[in-house]
Amino acid sequence: MNVKDVMKKYDITANGYDELYQEEQGIKYLSAWKIISNMKGKVIDIGCGTLLLERFMSAYGTIERIDYIVGLDISERMLLIGLAKVSSDERINSKLDIVRGDASMLPFRSSSFDFAVSFTVFTLLPIEAIGIIEMDRVARRGGVFTMLKKFCRLPLDRKYETIGETDKDLIFVLKKEINSKGELGEGSD
């Protein structure tokens, strides 16, 4: 799928996105909870959509560990809906910036963030490994991402490892300071 098609698809489905996918995304977040709940510092959410992850983190009290979070998405409509949904949550608003951008060309300097997260985004890229390369470039300490099982075509690479799965998705950890159990390594706090 090309960038314009992805943008159009999510602009069109943005109004009903949460109703369709909130439960499914929540299962992925719980599957990667060990990493998500321990993230702190600066975080980028690549393909943040309607800011479901940020709302999930706020509801579970882990947003407080984050100093600054950037939500990046290709769909302006998804971002606008997300902003409206978090407008009354000061725990999110006080540390959130949103950016309209492409996961295959992140508009940030290398090592700009401590952690990166991306849920079911890279499968939509023409070359999914480019999203992982970009995530690796901007995340200093590591991250977590998911890929739809039926479309996952990732080559074996020492930079990431499968740490779990849901019915539809594989969950990977981007190994830097995160071990294969999804835990931060010693001395990395």
Asked if pLDDT for residue 20 goes beyond 80, the answer is yes
Pairing label, strands 41-46, 113-119 = parallel
> Residues 10-28: what's their mean pLDDT?
94
Q: Among 28-37, 98-107, 121-130, 165-174, name the most confident range.
A: 98-107
Buried b (16+ CB within 10 A) or exposed e, 169-189: bbbbbbbbbbeeebebeeeee
* Spatial distance between the Cα atoms of 14 and 186, rounded to a whole number of angstroms: 41
pLDDT of residue 127: 84
Asked if pLDDT for residue 1 goes beyond 80, the answer is no
* Spatial distance between the Cα atoms of 73 and 91, rounded to a whole number of angstroms: 21
pLDDT of residue 60: 93
Asked if pLDDT for residue 177 goes beyond 80, the answer is no
Confidence of residue 99 (pLDDT cuts 50, 70, 90): very high
Q: Among 23-27, 124-128, 151-155, name the most confident range.
A: 23-27
Q: Domains in the chain, start-ordered, CATH in brackets? A: 3-174 (3.40.50.150)
3-state secondary structure the chain: CCHHHHHHHHHHHHHHHHHHHHHHHHHHHHHCHHHHCCCCEEEEEECCCCCHHHHHHHHCCCHHHEEEEEEEECCHHHHHHHHHHHCCCHHHHCCEEEEECCCCCCCCCCCCEEEEEEECCHHHCCCHHHHHHHHHHHEEEEEEEEEEHHHCCCCCCCCEEEEEECCCEEEEEECCCECCCCCECCCCC
pLDDT of residue 160: 83
Q: What is the pTM of this model?
A: 0.90
Q: How far is residue 33 from each of residues 2, 23, 103, 143, measured CA to CA in Å? A: 31, 15, 22, 12
> Residues 177-186: what's their mean pLDDT?
60
> Residues 80-104: what's their mean pLDDT?
96
Arithmetic mean of pLDDT over the chain = 89
pLDDT of residue 147: 85
Residue 46: other Cβ atoms inside 10 A: 27
pLDDT of residue 2: 84
Asked if pLDDT for residue 186 goes beyond 70, the answer is no
Asked if pLDDT for residue 153 goes beyond 80, the answer is no
